[in-house]
Structure 1
């Protein structure tokens, strides 16, 4: 079988090289103009072709929408460079800068019209249907580390948000596309919010302060086989391991060479451990687990044409999986950037739902669609990972995470229609 896997509006931004100047926000006629300090000597900033002035140039004259603004500032302040969400980040930023001059934290804000600033990590993204548009939301919370924000389960993260005064923030489509889990951001909004747990606020501005530091990178080794459990027989102590990613470890770009499976035998001498070196039993291995296998004798030659004998292992280590790995069967990998999934209980008949989907939502077919059976007890529990209450359910994914969920094919059709209308 073949499958293509892809590896993985606008602000006017002026930089001025006066050390210690805070960013200044202007909004003439709806345009969004930001000035940021750039600590650099004379010359070009970064490599993006924007020239910085010398430190002697303390006063700028900026003409925006026919209005002349003379701007000056004193040294000695913050020299941070937060990035607006509608400017694609070029690398990790440092420091903290509020988006509005007179702001308060939501815990100290007095009235619904007062501007509230909240800084935290992005821990979730989703969309819901509004009256005549799609509403884009990002979950921001404080008291959480990057690992939890990136890989946590949605229900757990929402409980943390309630405890830390976090919230879902409604943002523009452009902001939504640039914001991702693990980023440190600062969101400005009014103190008015929808009474939900966690609450929902409308963001006036979202600044990206810093990119995630610990992005997940997994490196395959030639002499250690890495794969995902596709099936297992505990009594026979036999595992079928999908090693497609390991087989293609040296390839770059699109990969359509999949379906490589090897048999793995576990005897009494095989050492079975968790990633923290805790001893495991064969019965604790589940379908979907990711394993590192050290072959007996220290080496193993994989036969790409098949026919190889079951591999005997000296040591097997069960690895922790990042969220994106857990969702690898669900996230979009085709050219459309969207993947539609019908998830249903294992053993149930989903043919009626498939017929309804194909007839009423042809747009769901672009980018690919799949039927996924939910098996209770697998290594990846999709109900827990995605916060699902009932099955069957329609799920829409982009290349990073879940975008939309619904039990109604009519709502799914409406979501695709509104999404298409945004791009006209």
Structure 2
């Protein structure tokens, strides 16, 4: 449930007064409230966002379901079903009772998005080996990945120093040698150690915040190499999570005042009020959330479809929209195909495709811009990224303002 703007405290009090067992993130260190830490609580409250997650039985018992009629004076503004979120952005509704929307042919639009994403992944697996090998060879020859070169990162004198970048994903390989000595803060919201056994999170962190000069012949793949890294594990080692785990990570990143919050995750679900409230809370506090538009060749998914979250599409090395990249609500684009970055040991480096890979390009560049001026925070940072983006000859519904550029 999402409280009406400015009614968060009243909403929390109403839950307590109803006799519900409430776990408030403010009672936990750095507001790192995870579901497994909540004990017998029936409600998890995320005060930075102004939202809460309630168990299904408690919601039914108190008549607080997605079908409930809310009065004008209720501190609760909306109640929604909980969804699963994925690193590869397929969609399943988690605990709600609302049936998925269906198209004219009776096929679930959510299922269609999931199938489309799977087809894209299958094509990439079939065609990707030679492309990835070529990309890695090219990167070594250039000394930097094609994505960083396209975003004009190598000439930039900025490092991201003094800027906190939160990456909410599958965690990180905390002992990856490329990050030795870096300032790391981390928390898990999925009942598993932060250590990344999936690789998606480590890859995204590498692009956004990886080193300027990796060892040996490895090309530069990281952007804001001087930033402080906040690792929020909101997706499990299978690459999935729920609204509760994602909101918990967002609340934690906002409470820690991370100037840039990168989310390469989502689902082909409708706009969710809780995500919109989280984006609004971030902007109000001078922070910026950037999120992947999705990989289903369909309309932008959540949370990127919220008006308060910057949606990132993917472009290929020709700077054309990637075939898998979602469209519609798109603010900006980043390199998302054949992206080389860090992955967990022993492999250490790998190439991936997706709007998930485009998003940390934007997050890293955002950190560089944030370093240039203390006034570039929140919505001002959002506008700066769009104003300085490289114009592309494609519809704004596919690439937004264009390709993100470093200062």
With normalisation by structure 1, the TM-score equals 0.24
With normalisation by structure 2, the TM-score equals 0.24
More helix by share: 2
Structure whose alpha-carbon radius of gyration is higher: 1
More strand by share: 1
Higher relative contact order (CA 8 A, sep 6+): 2
